[in-house]
Amino acid sequence: MADPRYTTPTYRTAATLGARLIAAGQGWCCEPICLMPTRHIPPGTPRTSWHVAHMPDGITIRPGITAHARCNTSEGAARGNRMRGRTLTPRRWAL
């Protein structure tokens, strides 16, 4: 079953607008931390390589709409880990 956040009319409209922006050369990664060499999402980028970005509440769509898939999933994972009290700390393993 699909996540209900991705089936709302608002989300579908944002995805259509995002696709149009990218096709017109106006797609930019709107995540606060972009992990790619450039924030630009070039025309012709497959839909699987960009996402509709959400605010930290996980529901509201970010004003810039589009984000690289890598940046968006990384931000969501970091937010989820913080909510669960997990932090990325280097570990030293005994040899």
- Rounded distance between C-alpha atoms, residue 79 and residue 56, angstroms: 7
What pTM was computed for the model?
0.81
Structurally, the chain folds into a number of domains equal to 1
- Rounded distance between C-alpha atoms, residue 63 and residue 3, angstroms: 21
At 95, the amino acid letter reads L
* Mean pLDDT, the chain cut into blocks of 10 residues (95 residues total): 82 95 96 94 96 88 94 86 73 69
In a domain, 87, yes or no: no
Q: Which residue has the tokens 């930290």?
A: 56
Q: Which domain does 40 fall in, by range?
A: 4-79
Q: Coil, helix or strand for 82?
A: helix
In a domain, 89, yes or no: no
From 93, 95, 90, 62, select the one nearest 76 (Cα to Cα): 62
